[in-house]
């Protein structure tokens, strides 16, 4: 039997989703953490979005993702390659989410405390789907700082859902968020295996 040294272990390739409300920092997180040139489907905001895209708190935003963002990051210490898929933030594009999420091991919901209510839809979506997720509170410059537990309470999250502060512009911070998600998804998978009813030939 062939024995692999740690450095020779096969690399696992995992798909993760970066979700959140409009302007929460999804495109920035993918771009700053990706080790390859990220693929972005950003388009300029136009008058077509007036009355549809609420800009309260993100008035300076001039573009938006209309399909998905894509990037890749290697976590060599854990023999993982993560493929990052960022979702569009507006409700009118949520019909694409099922295709984007298909095959993912988990998701990051980026939350903006200036528009925290925008996080409810993605949180509820992943709860209904049963997909492991964590919440990354993107600490925008000039935004109010709230204790993590207050954010958890406001979003009505269970105690086992990790909530972490982050800066989507900082690659190290983004890397920490992704590692937190992978660990959470692994914990959920192990727990599910241990709680799965056993079967026997007599059943």
In tens, the pLDDT along 47-104 reads 444 445 555 554 544 455 445 799 999 998 889 999 999 998 656 567 788 999 999 9
In a domain, 113, yes or no: yes
Q: What is the pLDDT of residue 155?
A: 97
In a domain, 203, yes or no: no
In a domain, 68, yes or no: yes
| Number of residues that this document lists for the chain | 203
In a domain, 1, yes or no: no
Contact indicator for 145, 116 with CB cutoff of 8 Å: no
Domain region containing 99: 6-195
Q: What is the count of structural domains for the chain?
A: 1
Tell me the pLDDT tens digit for each residue of 99-155: 999 999 999 999 999 999 999 999 999 999 999 999 999 998 877 889 999 999 999
Q: What is the pLDDT of residue 96?
A: 83
Residue 44 predicted with pLDDT over 60: no
Tell me the pLDDT tens digit for each residue of 153-162: 999 999 999 9
Site of tokens 């999804």:
26
Q: What share of the chain is helix, strand, coil (3-state, %, to 5)?
A: 40, 25, 40
In a domain, 91, yes or no: yes
> Which DSSP symbol is given to 161?
S
In a domain, 202, yes or no: no
User: Which tokens hold the place of 105?
Assistant: 């091991």
Q: What is the pLDDT of residue 17?
A: 97
Contact indicator for 85, 69 with CB cutoff of 8 Å: yes
Residue 7 predicted with pLDDT over 60: no
Q: What is the pLDDT of residue 76?
A: 82
In a domain, 201, yes or no: no
Q: What is the CATH number of the domain that holds 164?
A: 3.40.50.300
> Which DSSP symbol is given to 28?
H
CB-neighbour burial class of residue 116 (10 A; exposed 0-12, middle 13-18, buried 19+): middle
**Taking the chain, what is the end-to-end CA distance rounded to the nearest angstrom?**
35
Name the band, by pLDDT with cuts 50, 70 and 90, for residue 40: confident
172 φ/ψ angles, rounded to the nearest 5 degrees: -65, -40
pTM assigned to the model: 0.80
* Distance, CA of 23 to CA of 117 (rounded, Å): 13
């Amino acid at each position: 039997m062939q024995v692999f040294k740690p450095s020779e272990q096969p690399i696992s390739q995992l798909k993760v989703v970066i979700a959140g409300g409009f302007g929460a920092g999804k495109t920035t997180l993918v771009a700053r953490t990706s080790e390859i040139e990220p693929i972005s489907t950003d388009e300029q905001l136009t008058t077509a979005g007036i009355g549809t895209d609420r800009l309260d708190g993100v008035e300076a935003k001039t573009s938006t993702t209309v399909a998905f963002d894509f990037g890749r990051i290697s976590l060599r210490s854990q023999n993982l390659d993560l493929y990052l898929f960022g979702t569009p933030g507006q409700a009118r594009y949520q019909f694409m989410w099922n295709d984007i999420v298909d095959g993912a091991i988990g998701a990051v919901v980026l939350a903006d405390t200036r528009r925290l209510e925008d996080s409810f839809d993605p949180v509820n979506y992943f709860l209904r789907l049963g997909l492991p997720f964590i919440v990354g509170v993107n600490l925008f410059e000039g935004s109010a700082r709230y204790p993590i537990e207050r954010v958890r309470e406001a979003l009505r999250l269970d105690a086992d859902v990790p909530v972490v502060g982050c800066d989507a512009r900082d690659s190290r911070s983004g890397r920490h968020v992704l590692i937190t998600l992978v660990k959470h998804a692994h914990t959920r998978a192990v727990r599910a295996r241990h709680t799965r009813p056993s079967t026997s030939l007599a059943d």
